[in-house]
Structure 1
């Protein structure tokens, strides 16, 4: 079974249950299913077949959900792309990913037209209008682009009779391009069984029910949101509350007016929600669960949020190559601060040394994973696949440890570890200390090359009070850290560079000049 078939099961049992809410409008499961079927028919009509690759350049709108499930229904492969990527980044994925068709927001049409010669294999461009009338003046679009252009609204006005395909569990359902820290992004191929298994197991472990109302403010083209706030809720017939963008004021309003029960975010979102002066516990009074992932959650941020809103945050862990969730702090078990929890249902995690041998409790090594959620490989990259998938295990590249009770802790990215004269420094340890300084809003730590020690620690902070000096912060660190862990430089910034999901971009920080 695949996720599109699972939605049909929900339609059969509760057709008029609300599938999603968006900008004041509710859409039922039967309406959603009809839209999916109609789009699937229209895609077939323009020549999309099983196995063809369709890129999405879409934000948080129902168009994304409809497109994703239409692709799954006919066996096409969805390739979600961050819509704020540059033309060069988009062109690389179009070509590397063998994209045949593109579904994009209308505001991106001029850019796509400008770069059309970069991706001659793309046959059709399907434009999602942002209103009843397209924002783009078609007179400014080239004839070559117009010949390949279709409108999403037209595709939803066709008949919904579609040809059925024999879709296998191991067929690729989606290709997710990972934001590589070195080199070009790699396309992780996730199969129908990968997505189905992780949605099922996440729903089970997080105790999702049809009564849940899940806020989708994380970018839904990202794997964290894709499974946790889209596929898992739809798996059980819950309602998705789609937020076009992350705004603390809008999230509080949406949560209160729609009686949200689940919120999922990255650590920076929790920090922004806590800092928003008008937010209060009443706004989140209906939440039964808050989920954090995407990056380590600083202890101080967790404490501040929980104290202010009286909502427990449960931290988990995942990565694109695992669909993504592998660990989570179960709601009916002890929550250990700083831990990513235990292995979820049907997934196995362990910590190993350089030879792949399992390490004893509380010893740091590389986290590896296996289960039905693990990808089939990187698209057209057999050597990279062989490095990452070994003997049935996915090597994550994350440094972790496991305690005596089976709780896992991410120490840091293997490639982010700092080697100061032979001593290991984990950025997260230094960041936790900086977050405890009352005037620090955000912190990030990297390693910089040094002639004497090989590497030294550099830190970047955003402050509440600009009157704080670097020397005060370094002196504070000296009281809480061993000498080799103390930042040599602490740079005060107005904001930290972040990805569209709110993850702090260490690579950008490493490229800064001092």
Structure 2
């Protein structure tokens, strides 16, 4: 019988440990066996789910993957939903996608049961399914739709991103090749399992390769640091916020504890950051602290991962690198021409076998987001010495001021280097002279900050903004009795 490659590959690693949690382990054969119990339960009297949508409400780990494989082996489309979402959020995802079945464990089943009853959706408590009659499972071809992930735009309700089995396989193979995944790898899993980062980058790549996953129900800082100290992992993947928390933790522990934990991080072969921009300062702090150079990459729900710093080669702070294997990337200006030179900003457009099939039931939105066969990401970037640097979302993070296209993300990253600034957000406010004035909301760590001092500090670090006549105050600033700016403050810098 022809099987999906992910399932067929699992059979070649059948005796290997796929999941370890404390003293409990599950092999690849255990996943196959469990999915062969759950798949017939999904099918019932049917021979094939024929792309019936099945929602998955489970924490990451053995049962999650067994349920995912059961959905796919039965011919269904998997819709992972957020464990902590509100009932209206669950209802939107279930109704928009036309879900027929919800798979959950006992704890989550009790929470979503009233909604399922109201919507007339079948609720399947997998903890109650311990056996099932033997049933011949359907043959699933790679062109079948496999998954819907909901993603939010800036101006519309969440859209369901539909990927086929072939799309998912292409995304996995690209990362396995680029990051040299191997059966000897070991990785923690604490990322949400309704996003592509946890589903593809960690779980699917590990299981494709015969590697071992150690799942956590949440990011348990102390437990993970202890496992790092024990050399439990060869790879580590997280979002920038987690690296910030790790830095704070390492700086606060005793010297003897820090030495052991840092040694564990140093011995890992790869550490990756993604899902949000990694400030260069955090990149540099992490290297100084652990000796590890984080590998930053760029991707989206619609395309999987598209761009990555090199595994063997430069990992440049502030840049996301070069196109991954099998992925084509180009920059295009707003008025149409393709950008062929470096140092000229444009919209990132991507094509390749990993690019999604369509938005669920939104043909107009699907058509609008493609330029021929190139997916329009809506992100602006610039190519610098062979590496792409993300400037931000065209609709939100790019400020058009005085003929310049300025990156709010870049300005924020620079401001966070100021010793008095704890948090900041940069926006563009309407301005008759400049079109938009670069404006920042700042929360200070302590003390006060004078606006002229901040302006001077910025001019020395953000070369494009060295235009004195553009510096102006846009609004009345909160000040103390001495006339100094206090927190929080809104001020136009440029």
Displacement after TM superposition at 1:174 (Å): 0.2
Q: Is the 8 A contact 1:457 1:488 kept in 2?
A: no
Q: Is the 8 A contact 2:3 2:140 kept in 1?
A: no
Q: Does 1:379 align with 2:377?
A: no
Displacement after TM superposition at 1:114 (Å): 4.1
Displacement after TM superposition at 1:58 (Å): 2.6
1:410 corresponds in structure 2 to 390
1-side partners of 2:472 and 2:173: how far apart? 44
Displacement after TM superposition at 1:306 (Å): 1.2
1:366 corresponds in structure 2 to 347
1:445 paired residue among 417, 423, 426: 426
2:327 paired residue among 347, 350, 353: 347
2-side partners of 1:374 and 1:490: how far apart? 47
2-side partners of 1:447 and 1:350: how far apart? 27
Q: Is the 8 A contact 1:478 1:486 kept in 2?
A: no
1-side partners of 2:474 and 2:225: how far apart? 40
Q: Does 1:153 align with 2:130?
A: no
* 1:266-292 deviation digits (Å, cap 9, x = unpaired): 111111111112354124233111111
Q: Does 1:247 align with 2:247?
A: no
Question: What secondary structure does 1:326 align onto?
Answer: strand
2:141 corresponds in structure 1 to 168
1:177 paired residue among 140, 150, 161: 150
Q: Does 1:274 align with 2:255?
A: no
Distance 1:281 1:112, change over 3 A: same
1:320 corresponds in structure 2 to 301
1:197-276 correspondence to structure 2 within 5 Å: 197-257=170-230, 259-276=232-249
Displacement after TM superposition at 1:165 (Å): 1.5
Paired positions, count:
462
Displacement after TM superposition at 1:246 (Å): 1.4
Which ranges of structure 2 fall in alignment gaps of 5 or more residues? 479-489
Q: Does 1:456 align with 2:437?
A: yes
Distance 1:402 1:44, change over 3 A: same
Which ranges of structure 1 fall in alignment gaps of 5 or more residues? 127-150, 493-509
1:397 paired residue among 366, 372, 378: 378
1:330 corresponds in structure 2 to 310
1:303 paired residue among 284, 300, 304: 284
Q: Does 1:115 align with 2:119?
A: no
Distance 1:286 1:40, change over 3 A: farther
* 1:309-368 deviation digits (Å, cap 9, x = unpaired): 11120111100111x111111211222222211111111111112354320222100100
Q: Which moved more, 1:376-385 or 1:420-429?
A: 420-429
1:506 corresponds in structure 2 to none
2-side partners of 1:93 and 1:240: how far apart? 28
1-side partners of 2:45 and 2:264: how far apart? 46
Q: Which moved more, 1:443-452 or 1:54-63?
A: 443-452
Q: Does 1:292 align with 2:273?
A: yes
Distance 1:366 1:380, change over 3 A: same
Q: Which moved more, 1:296-305 or 1:13-22?
A: 13-22
Question: What secondary structure does 2:302 align onto?
Answer: helix
1:145 corresponds in structure 2 to none
2-side partners of 1:164 and 1:215: how far apart? 32
Distance 1:444 1:261, change over 3 A: farther
Alignment RMSD, CA only? 2.8
1:433 corresponds in structure 2 to 414
* 1:409-458 deviation digits (Å, cap 9, x = unpaired): 21111112123455432111211211212344554323345577554334
Q: Does 1:18 align with 2:20?
A: no
Distance 1:489 1:201, change over 3 A: farther
Displacement after TM superposition at 1:258 (Å): 5.4
Distance 1:187 1:161, change over 3 A: same
